[in-house]
Chain A
Amino acid sequence: MSLPLAAKGEFARVRSNLESALDKSGQPVRRGTMAHDHHVYMLLTEAAAAQRDPAALAVYAPRLASLAERDGHRLYQGIAARAQGVASRLAGDPAASAAHLDRAMGLFAALGTRWQLGRTFLERAELARMLDDAAGARDFLARASAAFEALQAAPDLERARGALAQLQLTV
């Protein structure tokens, strides 16, 4: 039951659930609730990114990217790109990270998925902070806050505003 867990930020439980379910038969439910490989790897990738787990990211993000590319699934392409951006940042490759994150932002903007976009802004701000680009970080955090506010995504909004406040204190 991973979807609501992911929404609540309980990523360890998401991983535990889905990793144990990977070897379960992919029994389709007749109408639209099929857990395709895409969906499962999407959630595992998201969880790994949230946990900042490079090893897991190295396994799941490419698989998701590959499936999403094969089927032209733009949302999952974006999620995979964001996860790869996180992985690159953790690996100390800011250029690759920026490229992945910018691609993700483009895909999400085209789809109009504001929450995904807001979360990508957060990652982009994290990268900017790593690069000591306070202005850039502030800009991305402000854009993330706006996206979350519009959606009434309270926990993410709090997170973005907290990061923004901390950034201003630091500066």
Chain B
Amino acid sequence: MDCPNCGRPNREQANYCRFCGTHFALACPRCRAVLLPDSAYCDNCGLPLSPAATALPAAHAAPVMAPEPTAPRPVEPALPAGQPQLQQYIPAELMQKLEAARVRGEMVGERRIVTMLFCDVKGSTAAAEQLDPEDYSEIMNGAFTHMIRPVYRYEGTLARLMGDALLAFFGAPIAHEDDPQRAVLAGLDIIAAMRDYRDQVREKWGLDFDVRVGINTGLVVVGAVGSDLRVEYSALGDAINLAARMEQTATPGSVQIAHETYKAVRTLFEFESLGALEVKGKSEPVPAYRVLRRKSAGGQVRGIEGLHAALVGRDAEMTALRDMVNDLQQGVGRIVGILGEAGLGKTRLVAETARVFRATCGANVAWYEVGSLSYETSQAYGLFQRLIRRVQGIDDNDPAAVVREKLAQLASSLPDDLRDRALQVFEALFGFKREAGAPVEGEAFRRELRAATQAWWRARFASVPTMLVFDDMHWSDAASVALLRELLPLIGEMPLVLMCVLRTERQAPAWQLRNTADEEYHHRYLELSLRPLSEAESNELLNRLLAVAELPDRLRANVLEKAGGNPFFIEEVVRALIDSGAVVAEDRPVPGGTRRYWRATSAGADFEIPTNLQSLLAARMDRLEDATRGTLQLASVIGRSFYHRLLRAVDEASPELDQHLGALLRLDMIREAARVPELEYAFRNPLTQEAVYKTILLKRRRTFHRRVGEAMEVLYAERLDDLLGLLAHHFRLGGQNDKAVDYSRRAARRAVGLFAYDDAVRNLRAALELISSEEKSDLHLTLREELGDVYRLLRDGAGAMNQYQQALELWRGHKAADKLVAVRLHRKVLQVITDLKWTVSLEDLQQANASRLASRAMLVEAMPFLIEEPPQLETVRALVALSTDAWRLQDPPDWEAAQGFAQSAVDLAAQLESPVDKSQALGALATVLDGRSLLREHLAVTQQRLELCRLPDFDLHENIEAVRSAAAALMYVGEYEQALPGLQEAEQLAVRAQVIDQQANAIGLQAQCYYRLDRWDEVLETETRWRDLERGYPRERVGETCFFVALSAGVHALRGDPQRAAAYAQESVEYMVTMSGGPENWQRNQFY
């Protein structure tokens, strides 16, 4: 093998480079952890190892190297000599997978977010023409060496070599949460490395050439593609084409990235915007950016620009940290462990502690913060070197001489007897080699470094309260962690706090530090394990991020549910909602200025998982064994929670299922959700389930869904009614349309029975999506009508009208159409339009009038024939609809006709056995009497109706209406106290049935009773309740509230607050103007 330091050849079995003395150790080809010589598996990530797989050397122990011109870099993998062959660069386990795919003849693949890096050599064609092939080969081999090394350095995968170009993936087959950052760093390193190489080539061959790099991030299908002769790991998708175009349009010697990558790394690098570039195959120009350099102080990767939320849900932790700061001020040192999953707010807690620390301890203190980097986990003493840089003020860009000078300053503060040896080890740590004197090696180096560091800490931190914060320690290198463990005793002798921030990754070297602190320094150890936020805390965070958020309830609930209490997830989803325009800011005038409101631009509740979140979740998933990962994917198809029995039935690898589930439980990716009535698991975080699901190829998803649906039908045959929606979902996604439609309809009916109307809509819509819009079938008509009925229940008049009209259109196109179907649809159209009055604008109502007149004419024309027929319910319903239309929509109201229709309906209903229809007919009559100010007669009819509704199992909607109208009738005759219980009951029933307008109305009528009873405080209390409804639902669902506004206006006026009263009165008038136009159009009640 070649030495990673000097590049010269060594024996495969060599432990040290025979030219420069670099120590070789075996490294895991996947995670790069240092391996013991006889390892069959990597003891860090569990990868099975073949002899070939362990051929990559890694740095270990003290690197005693020749001085480098700049700061040392992570140790490179050896690059094979000779003509580059892709196989030489592909990790062994990936090669094994590809070979297996070739042998099986299968296409295996996954959908992934990948950052793709294209790099090609500009000027190579000219070189090929001018040079002997052997020289050309030598030049290109050298170029590839410089192009490939950085890809490995940042743990990318070399996917393809194409003549003078290469393609590398960051994020496949192994994802890291910071793949875009790694790809850009690799790109910059390639450009930097090629600068020197260009000079060499120019000098030796007189040729000029350069490289250019293009990068993009996006969704691709990755996997083995090809034939049985040759299979390679590749990616397909639009994103890869854009990456190629970025490279092709890049200036030689530069890295050019597309917008998706830019979004992920914009705070970490400096850029030049190239504007929007015309790109072949893209209809619109695409933004591109040239990466200039890495920022010396990286910006904030997390959080949302312009938004800030106070810390939420961490009161107990902050109390403990304040105590710790107070102790430190008194000279007491401690070790603090802040543990938690990614995104739970560890770094935020550190920031808050820094604020408290500075506020409490004043100026004469020190706070040093260093982080570990995900791509430098195997750089020995990388963390420690960064600590020295941070404390001693050594910049990454400082020349070697300056670095040595600053190290000398460090050493000068140490006792005389240690000074020289300390300087030697610190210089060695930074890669400097002394001209004279024997190098310190092996165990001696560790011993000397420990002694030097102890002396340095005593000199530096003994007199001033100091906080050393080590962030992201789960990525810390083992050597630094071992050194820190040896330094722990110093905590007892100086005012020093070591704050170790890490994820709960027990295999990380830093976990040992945590264990040592807990076991041996328990009296000085403070551990804070961050838990996910509760739902209320998550909601509070959301509200604090978006100061005044007007989000639909379903969207808010969806965000909170999917985020699973993870503040970072919440922030990222909010960021994605803002970026996508799903949530927009509006500055609205308020007294004394403006206030920012965040408003959802649609009523939709769904959103895409942000790319960076997908990467974070994918990185966790990639640590799994293939079979375990397969089980997880299958479980994700079942859903966020899944029965063990069902998973076993569909998992073809079920013999090892429990083993896989055990691994997933240990890694905290799933949890046991229930044991009774049967064993059930759930994804620990809902977004994980979605992210895992998104990796599965569409074709495989279909197969999995079908298998899940069929297994459910067998396993749960006795309780399919509880699983209708799920069955519909699986058969729909499994491509079994007939079954999916059937289950969707059944699910919708069941949802209506449970008042879950939104679910019913979703199910019916899903069924309709499976039917061609052109299909003129009974099923299509029925689905439209059923959907219209649910919209009507939701008080979505426009939605209902739309569906009924489409159903009528289908009826007209039907050859053997049943006329009663048309009567029923016209009656429903009429009912919907009467429902609409007062809840939609005058303009909308006028637009609907043509449909109303047509439907009314049809019903009037059909009525004589219907009356002659034997009594039937549809006739009663049509009469009720005509009665309501006569008073409600005719102008002026035709009270005589309305009472006539209603009385006929009551009489006809009496001959039929349908209590609900009887109740509705009585309701129609009662309303007419109400409109004619015959209040006692009205009360009598409502009481009659109420008795009917007290029958067991009576229709809940009708019951609500009956209870509410009977209470309103009592209110009309001045029996306010008696009316209140009925109104409260109606409100509760309406809440249960999700009938928002009934709920709002029952609240408003209570306000009216309170107003008449001079109970003004209660009037204002009710306002909070209907205002909540107004905020949560569209006006069509809430119904008219202008009168309730007027009541509050009255109370404020009576209490001597004319300004508030005027504002309320104005609101009420504006409301009426929107629904009826100006006062010239108003009815009497609006003047009242």
**Chain A interface (Cβ within 8 Å of chain B)?**
1-9, 17-18, 20-22, 24-40, 43, 67-68, 70-76, 111-116, 151-156, 158
Stretch of B442-450, B535-543, B797-805, B969-977 that contacts chain A:
B969-977
Q: In the complex, which residues of chain B have a beta carbon less than 8 angstroms from the beta carbon of A5?
A: 1065
Task: Tell which of A32, A72, A156 touches B1005, judged by Cβ atoms closer than 8 Å.
Answer: A32
Are A113 and B1001 CB-contacts (below 8 A) given A20-B1087, A38-B935? no
Contact call A111/B1013, Cβ cutoff below 8 A: yes
The 9 closest A-B pairs by CB, nearest first: A154-B1056, A35-B1085, A27-B1083, A21-B1087, A4-B1049, A7-B1053, A35-B1088, A73-B974, A28-B931
A157 to chain B, nearest CB (A): 8
Could you pull out 10 A-B pairs where Cβ atoms are within 8 angstroms?
Answer: A7-B1053, A26-B1085, A27-B893, A28-B927, A31-B965, A33-B1043, A73-B974, A113-B1013, A114-B1014, A154-B1056
Closest to A20 in B: B1087
Are A113 and B1014 CB-contacts (below 8 A) given A8-B1061, A36-B933? yes
Q: In the complex, which residues of chain A have a beta carbon less than 8 angstroms from the beta carbon of B891?
A: 25, 27
Contact call B974/A76, Cβ cutoff below 8 A: yes
Q: In the complex, which residues of chain B have a beta carbon less than 8 angstroms from the beta carbon of A30?
A: 837-838, 888, 927
Contact call B1086/A1, Cβ cutoff below 8 A: yes
Contact call B1001/A31, Cβ cutoff below 8 A: yes
Are A43 and B1088 CB-contacts (below 8 A) given A24-B1082, A34-B972, A153-B1054? yes
Contact call B1054/A7, Cβ cutoff below 8 A: yes
A144 to chain B, nearest CB (A): 13
B967 to chain A, nearest CB (A): 9
A69 to chain B, nearest CB (A): 11
Contact call A116/B1014, Cβ cutoff below 8 A: yes
A31 CA to B961 CA in the complex, in Å? Answer: 9
A5 to chain B, nearest CB (A): 8
Are A25 and B1084 CB-contacts (below 8 A) given A30-B888, A34-B930, A36-B972? yes
Q: In the complex, which residues of chain B have a beta carbon less than 8 angstroms from the beta carbon of A29?
A: 838, 1040, 1043, 1085
CB under 8 Å from chain A, chain B span 770-823: none
Closest to A114 in B: B1014
Size category of the binding interface on chain B: 35 or more
A118 to chain B, nearest CB (A): 9
Contact call A32/B1001, Cβ cutoff below 8 A: yes
Are A115 and B1014 CB-contacts (below 8 A) given A7-B1054, A35-B1087, A75-B974? yes
A5 CA to B1088 CA in the complex, in Å? Answer: 10
A116 CA to B1013 CA in the complex, in Å? Answer: 9
A29 to chain B, nearest CB (A): 6
Summarize B's interface: helix, strand, loop or mixed: helix
Q: In the complex, which residues of chain A have a beta carbon less than 8 angstroms from the beta carbon of B973?
A: 71-73
Contact call A156/B1001, Cβ cutoff below 8 A: no
Task: Tell which of A24, A32, A70, A152 touches B1084, judged by Cβ atoms closer than 8 Å.
Answer: A24
Q: In the complex, which residues of chain A have a beta carbon less than 8 angstroms from the beta carbon of B1058?
A: 8
Q: In the complex, which residues of chain B have a beta carbon less than 8 angstroms from the beta carbon of A2?
A: 1087-1088
**Chain B interface (Cβ within 8 Å of chain A)?**
837-838, 887-888, 891-893, 927, 930-933, 935-936, 964-965, 968, 971-974, 976, 1001, 1004-1005, 1008, 1012-1014, 1016, 1039-1040, 1043, 1046-1047, 1049-1051, 1053-1056, 1058, 1061, 1064-1065, 1068-1069, 1072, 1082-1088
Contact call B1016/A151, Cβ cutoff below 8 A: yes
Q: In the complex, which residues of chain A have a beta carbon less than 8 angstroms from the beta carbon of B1053?
A: 4, 7-9
B1009 to chain A, nearest CB (A): 10
A171 to chain B, nearest CB (A): 28
Q: In the complex, which residues of chain A have a beta carbon less than 8 angstroms from the beta carbon of B972?
A: 34, 36, 38, 71
Task: Tell which of A4, A20, A39, A75 touches B1046, judged by Cβ atoms closer than 8 Å.
Answer: A4
Contact call B1088/A18, Cβ cutoff below 8 A: yes
B1038 to chain A, nearest CB (A): 12
Contact call A38/B1084, Cβ cutoff below 8 A: no
A88 CA to B1058 CA in the complex, in Å? Answer: 32
B973 to chain A, nearest CB (A): 5
Contact call A21/B1088, Cβ cutoff below 8 A: yes
Closest to A40 in B: B1088
Q: In the complex, which residues of chain B have a beta carbon less than 8 angstroms from the beta carbon of A115?
A: 1014, 1016, 1054
Q: In the complex, which residues of chain A have a beta carbon less than 8 angstroms from the beta carbon of B932?
A: 26
Are A7 and B1013 CB-contacts (below 8 A) given A20-B1087, A73-B974? no
B471 to chain A, nearest CB (A): 56
Instruction: A1-B1087, A8-B1058 given; name 4 further pairs at CB < 8 Å.
Output: A4-B1049, A73-B935, A113-B1014, A114-B1014
A92 to chain B, nearest CB (A): 31
Q: In the complex, which residues of chain B have a beta carbon less than 8 angstroms from the beta carbon of A7?
A: 1049-1051, 1053-1054, 1061
Are A26 and B927 CB-contacts (below 8 A) given A4-B1053, A37-B933? no
Q: In the complex, which residues of chain B have a beta carbon less than 8 angstroms from the beta carbon of A20?
A: 1087
Q: In the complex, which residues of chain A have a beta carbon less than 8 angstroms from the beta carbon of B1040?
A: 29, 33
A43 CA to B1084 CA in the complex, in Å? Answer: 13
A3 CA to B1084 CA in the complex, in Å? Answer: 13
A25 CA to B927 CA in the complex, in Å? Answer: 15
Task: Tell which of B964, B1050, B1085, B1087 touches A33, judged by Cβ atoms closer than 8 Å.
Answer: B1085
Contact call A1/B974, Cβ cutoff below 8 A: no
Contact call A153/B964, Cβ cutoff below 8 A: no
A9 CA to B1051 CA in the complex, in Å? Answer: 12
Contact call B931/A3, Cβ cutoff below 8 A: no
Q: In the complex, which residues of chain A have a beta carbon less than 8 angstroms from the beta carbon of B971?
A: 32
A161 to chain B, nearest CB (A): 13
